[in-house]
Structure 1
Amino acid sequence: MTRSLNLLSIQSHVVYGHVGNASAVFPLQRLGHEVWPVHTVQFSNHTGYGAWRGQVFDPSLIDECVTGLKERGALARCDGVLSGYLGSAETGEAVLRALREVRVANRSALYCCDPVMGDVGRGIFVRPGITDFMRDHAVPEADVLTPNQFELELLAGFATPTMVDVERALIAVNALRNGGRTHQSRTILVTSLVTDATPPDCIDVLAAHFDGDGGMRRFLLRTPRLDVNLNGAGDAIAALFFAHLLTTNSPAGALQRAVSSVFGVLRRTVQAGSRELLTVAAQEEFVQPSQMFEVRDA
């Protein structure tokens, strides 16, 4: 039986739809994990609509919530910290303060950073200062990273039209570490990956695992390309990949389960013609994906 995790998830939240914590929390709970959500923003809906209401929360909210968890003695039971969209660089600093508190209480806790900064076609869509914060502060602390291809290129500083370029970028991003974590293993998941080797009707997702000595193993999963551009899918993949990685210690297995699950949800969403992910209606996909895609060495 898969062990139940306690995960601290610090990211955005929406009232309507499924992005950020609204996309990440329920799938994890459906798998039997306890999730402690802290919201960096609360909006009426995701910003892809072009109009929304709500507010970016003061970073002190994160500090207050984590202090409360510390006072309850909960941080020692925290298996991992997951961060996503940040409203500001100051919010990111609060996330890292929370991470430090968790690591003091539980040295084996891992940090998954989804470095949300932009995407192909939209470019950078976060506030000034966040890209620098991600590269210089958040990424160096992460045990697990889940950038899309655009974000991988932003962190590496160059384009990745070929798999050779992707490998170079992975090595460059893996080198972004603080001094105390130089010899720690690290896993990087690259979503929405398209290279010259990707068929036009497909899309790739790649997981790269670096051991403590710098050796790298890469795993590739390819799915059909769905005619859809939905917000929140990356948030769900990051959360599921992190949880499956923690429970199985298998990057290949985590890649297969996470992507197969979210593909199933996306397919149901497309069939229904919905603009929002059918996270609840298609929830069985999180437990038992209707189609398991093959993972191969890359």
Structure 2
Amino acid sequence: MNILSIQSHVSYGHVGNSAAVFPLQRLGHEVWPVYTVNFSNHTGYGQWGGSPIPASEVGSIVHAMEQRGALAKVDVVLSGYQGGADIADAILTTVARVKALNPRATYTCDPVMGNAKSGCFVNPAIPVLLRERVVPQADLVTPNQFELGYLAGMQVHTLADTLKAVDAVMALGPRAVLVTSVHCPDAAPGTISMLAADATGAWLVTTPHLPFKANGSGDVTAALFTAHYSQHFGQSGSAQRALERTTASMFELLQHTHQSGERELQLVQAQDSYVAPRAHFAAVPIR
């Protein structure tokens, strides 16, 4: 597949496109990254250099790619951290143009806003734009549980809440939802889950929870699931298979990173896990 990935870039570490591009390439996909910010490192360090990239520049880059004939070849558009509120228009314009040129193309939106521990860490205008304008145009969305609650306009605590919120988000327009970092009060201690749902069903997969924070893990998860699911978009069982494959790869990546003692994802060192993960976690149908 040819994947146009519109996300942030950091020179040091792995978040945004700096997390998503290599695993996708390792899976054999052609990836064309377009950056929404150009930073030295992710903002979790508290200090960074660089700046957001204006939406006009993002649009100019995409327009020039179209002149090369590239947009007609795009199979998937993937967007993540947007940086500035004006990036939404550039993304939506790109998606519309890609789909006009290739009606079979799909759009994955990773609606990056924040998480349960940190709260919202983006420009306050961005969550509203995501919910009202961007997510309705997406075929697949990949929120964490905190972001899912915002998009659905409800509190999400239990598995039943999560499924109800998934249905509310799918009613906005997306045909499939991946929920990362699912926490439920009745879950077994020391575990964490992910949930995938589309018109054919919903599945939950659970793994041991590794006790550390890994910036960029959501970006890798969104990229891997997009790649695995998009190859068989909407087919029965494709969400289940994509969820199991993504979970196995992510668990091995996070395990490798945790064991290394490093703060940044060991993205290169764990590269075989994207292609042939040894771990397996069964995705259980929940409806």
TM over 0.5: yes
Tell me which residue corresponds to 2:184. Answer: 195
Letter in 1 for 2:74: C
Tell me which residue corresponds to 2:247. Answer: 259
Unaligned runs of 5+ in 1: 178-184, 211-215
Identify which of 248, 266, 270 aligns with 2:258: 270
TM-score when scaled to structure 1? 0.93
* Secondary structure in 1 matching 2:172: coil
2:170 and 2:231 mapped to 1: Cα distance? 23
Return the offset for 1:220: 0.6
How many residues align structurally? 282
Letter in 2 for 1:8: L
Return the offset for 1:18: 0.3
Tell me which residue corresponds to 1:57. Answer: 53
Return the offset for 1:284: 0.4
Q: Is residue 209 of structure 2 the alignment partner of residue 225 of structure 1?
A: yes
Q: Is residue 79 of structure 2 the alignment partner of residue 79 of structure 1?
A: no
Q: Is residue 122 of structure 2 the alignment partner of residue 165 of structure 1?
A: no
Contact 1:160/1:195, CA 8 A, preserved across alignment: no
Q: Is residue 189 of structure 2 the alignment partner of residue 205 of structure 1?
A: no
Once the two structures are overlaid, the 10-residue window that deviates more, 153-162 or 263-272, is 153-162
Cα distance per residue 1:104-132 (max 9 Å; x no partner): 11011000000000101100000021011
Contact 1:261/1:286, CA 8 A, preserved across alignment: yes
Q: Is residue 7 of structure 2 the alignment partner of residue 11 of structure 1?
A: yes
2:260 and 2:134 mapped to 1: Cα distance? 37
2:269 and 2:194 mapped to 1: Cα distance? 25
Cα distance per residue 1:167-224 (max 9 Å; x no partner): 11111111113xxxxxxx71100000011232121000000112xxxxx611111010
**Residues 37-48 of structure 1 mapped to structure 2, 5 A cutoff:** 37-48=33-44
Q: Is residue 31 of structure 2 the alignment partner of residue 35 of structure 1?
A: yes
1:272 and 1:50 mapped to 2: Cα distance? 23
Contact 1:163/1:195, CA 8 A, preserved across alignment: yes
Tell me which residue corresponds to 1:247. Answer: 231
Q: Is residue 99 of structure 2 the alignment partner of residue 103 of structure 1?
A: yes
Unaligned runs of 5+ in 2: none
* Secondary structure in 1 matching 2:112: coil
Contact 1:146/1:191, CA 8 A, preserved across alignment: yes
1:251 and 1:47 mapped to 2: Cα distance? 32
* Secondary structure in 2 matching 1:271: helix
RMSD between superposed Cα atoms in Å: 1.0
2:240 and 2:227 mapped to 1: Cα distance? 13
Return the offset for 1:246: 1.5
Tell me which residue corresponds to 2:147. Answer: 151
| Structure 1 stretches of at least 4 aligned residues deviating more than 4 Å after TM superposition | none
* Secondary structure in 1 matching 2:179: strand
2:232 and 2:205 mapped to 1: Cα distance? 18
Once the two structures are overlaid, the 10-residue window that deviates more, 285-294 or 38-47, is 285-294
TM-score when scaled to structure 2? 0.96
Change (3 A) 1:248 1:197: farther
Q: Is residue 281 of structure 2 the alignment partner of residue 293 of structure 1?
A: yes
Tell me which residue corresponds to 2:17. Answer: 21
Tell me which residue corresponds to 2:118. Answer: 122
1:252 and 1:89 mapped to 2: Cα distance? 34
| Percent of aligned pairs sharing the same letter | 49
Q: Is residue 175 of structure 2 the alignment partner of residue 186 of structure 1?
A: yes
1:168 and 1:238 mapped to 2: Cα distance? 21
Tell me which residue corresponds to 1:66. Answer: 62
2:125 and 2:251 mapped to 1: Cα distance? 33
Cα distance per residue 1:125-174 (max 9 Å; x no partner): 00021011000001000000000000001111221211111111111111
